[in-house]
């Protein structure tokens, strides 16, 4: 079993991954300052009392789950190099998973300084603190690095031409990690997820927005005509893929698309939502010019090298997510 440190471990992906790794017997420690898409930011930044209270309760449930599973949460700001370096020296992890980042493209474009501060500075600190000290760094990039897809299905060898600050910073992260590998022989695995959804998300991803707005009788606004395609990926599939990448030597110094591998339109997701919220208010507005036109991410490489085979389609997993949300709001609000 591995000793694993997840930087950004109290976030949506981080806490779900931590729970799965702990269930499998790994020793997991989470590092988080609770400032980005987390407790502190939710208390200060949400526009309505309904969303603020709901998301605060969701985040508290994350923290409770970490505690219930005996997963240590170290409240620490990864922007402080000396704190990070000292902690890594003391913990001596085998694997470091880097998730600390602003995880929303619109917020990145509106507040570049904050995005650089929480996404790039944290990565720089973790890289320098871990070189020569760990077996491997797992870095979460994004499907946004591809920019506008040049074909219906892209693979890891396709050209990356990101649009906007979020995707560009993710791609810069990939390049700097490769440079650390060249200079310091730091082993890495780069993960490119897409359109994630699942329990205890407060990042305002599209799947969450649909359900949350429907529950609170808020209008759901869709950019464009709703025919844009996204490779919607359930959080459990992503976590399964990350576990495989940690356990497999074949993942070393490789990049993987870890998605469902079959893009669907936003209207497809909307139609599933309407089966459960038939009175939900839907409107269409002008498409965001900074949102790249995407599609399917090929998972053939992940299947071949890792044995990755996702099982949760939106027809199966999205209704389960809706069910969880309804139960959570009925019991907690």
Provide the token pair at 246. 């940690």
Judged against a pLDDT cut of 90, whether residue 120 lies above it is answered with: no
Tens of pLDDT, residues 71-99? 999 999 999 999 999 999 999 999 999 99
Are 132 and 233 in contact by the 8 Å Cβ rule? The answer is: no
d(C-alpha 273, C-alpha 315), whole Å: 10
Burial, 327: exposed, middle or buried (Cβ in 10 Å; 0-12, 13-18, 19+)?
exposed
pLDDT of residue 332: 42
pLDDT of residue 37: 60
The string of DSSP codes covering 211-233 is HHHHHTT--EEEETTS--EE--E
* Mean pLDDT, residues 166-175: 93
* Mean pLDDT, residues 155-183: 95
pLDDT of residue 41: 57
What does the mean pLDDT of the chain come to?
91
d(C-alpha 233, C-alpha 248), whole Å: 22
Provide the token pair at 51. 């969303």
pLDDT of residue 36: 58
d(C-alpha 307, C-alpha 13), whole Å: 21
d(C-alpha 100, C-alpha 5), whole Å: 12
Residue 222 β-bridge partners: 284
Judged against a pLDDT cut of 90, whether residue 230 lies above it is answered with: yes
Tens of pLDDT, residues 253-310? 999 999 999 999 999 999 999 999 999 999 999 998 888 899 999 999 999 999 999 9
Judged against a pLDDT cut of 90, whether residue 197 lies above it is answered with: yes
Structural domains in the chain, sorted by start: 3-194+235-260+296-311 (3.40.50.720)
């Amino acid at each position: 079993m591995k000793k694993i440190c997840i930087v950004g471990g109290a976030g949506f992906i981080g806490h779900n991954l931590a729970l799965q790794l702990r269930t499998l017997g790994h020793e997991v420690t989470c590092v988080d300052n609770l400032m980005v898409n987390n407790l502190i930011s939710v208390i200060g930044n949400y526009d309505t009392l309904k969303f603020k209270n709901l998301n605060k309760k969701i985040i508290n449930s994350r923290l409770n789950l970490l505690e219930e599973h005996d997963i240590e949460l170290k409240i620490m700001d990864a922007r402080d190099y000396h704190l990070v370096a000292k902690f890594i020296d003391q913990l001596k992890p085998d694997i470091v998973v880097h998730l600390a980042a602003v995880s929303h493209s619109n917020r990145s474009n509106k507040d570049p300084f904050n995005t650089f501060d929480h996404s790039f500075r944290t990565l720089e600190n973790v890289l320098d603190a871990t070189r020569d000290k760990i077996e491997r760094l797992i870095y979460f990039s994004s499907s946004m690095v591809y920019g506008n897809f040049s074909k219906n299905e892209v693979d890891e060898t396709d050209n990356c031409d990101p649009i906007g600050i979020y995707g560009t910073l993710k791609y810069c992260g990939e390049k700097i990690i490769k440079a650390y590998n060249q200079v310091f022989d730091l082993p890495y695995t780069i993960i490119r997820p897409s359109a994630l959804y699942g329990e205890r998300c407060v990042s305002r991803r599209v799947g969450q927005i649909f359900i949350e707005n429907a529950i609170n009788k808020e209008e759901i606004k869709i950019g464009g005509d709703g025919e844009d395609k996204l490779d919607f990926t359930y959080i459990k599939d992503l976590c399964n893929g990350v576990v495989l990448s940690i356990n497999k030597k074949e993942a070393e110094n490789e990049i993987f698309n870890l998605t469902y591998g079959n893009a669907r339109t936003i209207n497809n997701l909307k139609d599933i939502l309407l089966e459960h919220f038939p009175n939900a208010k839907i409107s269409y507005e002008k498409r965001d010019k900074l949102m790249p036109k995407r599609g399917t991410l090929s998972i053939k490489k992940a299947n071949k090298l890792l044995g990755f085979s996702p099982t949760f389609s939106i027809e199966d997993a999205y209704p389960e997510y809706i069910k969880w949300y309804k139960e959570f709001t009925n019991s907690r609000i």
